Amino acid sequence: MAQSMVKEFTKGLWAELPPFRLVLGLCPVLAVTKSVENGIGMGIATTFVLVCSNLLVSLLRNIIPAKVRIACFIVIIATFVTVVELVMQAYTYPLFLKLGIFIPLIVVNCIVLGRAEAFASKNSPIFAIADGLGMGIGFTLSLGALGAVRECFGNGTILGNPVFGSDFQPFTFMVEAPGAFVCLGLMLCLMNLIGKK
């Protein structure tokens, strides 16, 4: 059992890494990764929603009628997104303002709904938590890595601290929308090259 739980947890860290392996949840990946702070903030918010919704879906899987399961999953996910939104407004208001509309859009993030449908509704709560936590941490690391690359080359900083010398000319293309696509494509390519080896 412990080995299966470790497998469910670790699959989200490499084998099924959401943005780079499953190519899911790209809307927030592209939109909020102008900085490491934004990426990690969105990743933590999504992780909380993933773990809590997976747990509740798994606990209710035998009670929810099959015909309305997707609607029920969305209501469960929306409840936890509302909790995240209110907590961020109360405790991390500047980050809440930076992430804006993308916090409520966690409700329709295909990673969260996909994990509820494909995994949590078919497995025990402990496995559902392990799956949600692994996927969430993998998603957070992906957003953080993409945010680090974009912030580093686009602004010349990481978490607001200068990385390059004073002569560095920021490549502002990287913090614009087209730069997100280019950076994501290059990172997808790199992940596939590493995966083949």
Domain that holds residue 178: 2-196
The pLDDT tens digits of the residues spanning 167-176 come to 889 999 999 9
Q: Residues of 11-29 as b/e, b for ≥16 C-beta within 10 angstroms?
A: bbeeebbbbbbbebbbebb
The pLDDT tens digits of the residues spanning 83-142 come to 999 999 999 999 999 999 999 999 989 999 999 999 999 999 999 999 999 999 999 999
Distinct helix (H) and strand (E) counts, the chain: 8, 2
pTM of the model: 0.93
The pLDDT tens digits of the residues spanning 56-70 come to 999 999 999 999 999
Residue 2 is predicted with a pLDDT of: 82
**Enclosing H/E stretch for 158:** strand 157-158
Question: Domains in the chain: how many in total?
Answer: 1
Cβ–Cβ contacts within 10 Å for residue 172, how many? 11
Round to whole Å and give the CA distance between 98 and 96: 6
